[in-house]
Amino acid sequence: MKKSVFYHAGCPVCKSAEHDIIDVVGASGVEVVHLGEDRSRIAEAESAGVKSVPALVVPNGNVLHINFGASLEDVKG
């Protein structure tokens, strides 16, 4: 089974959502990507349809934007 990918930028909103997602999905079902630490994956997130973080891209390709921590433009800086 393909994993979901959780993109975030490390802000308090993102960290809280990360813990909740892992609690719900389980650590083995989600790949966590901190875009502030791995900026090389910003283009990947954009291609997947991520507009703001935190966001969860589920295996079928849908993007679930969770709360609002920062726009992807802000993350790109």
Binning pLDDT at 50, 70 and 90, where does residue 69 land?
low
The pTM of the full predicted model, rounded to 2 decimals, is 0.90
pLDDT tens figures, 4-35: 999 999 888 889 999 999 999 899 999 999 99
Which pLDDT score, from 0 to 100, does residue 2 have? Answer: 86
- State how far the Cα of 63 lies from the Cα of 59, in Å rounded to an integer: 9
Residue that has been written with the tokens 């989600």 in this structure:
30
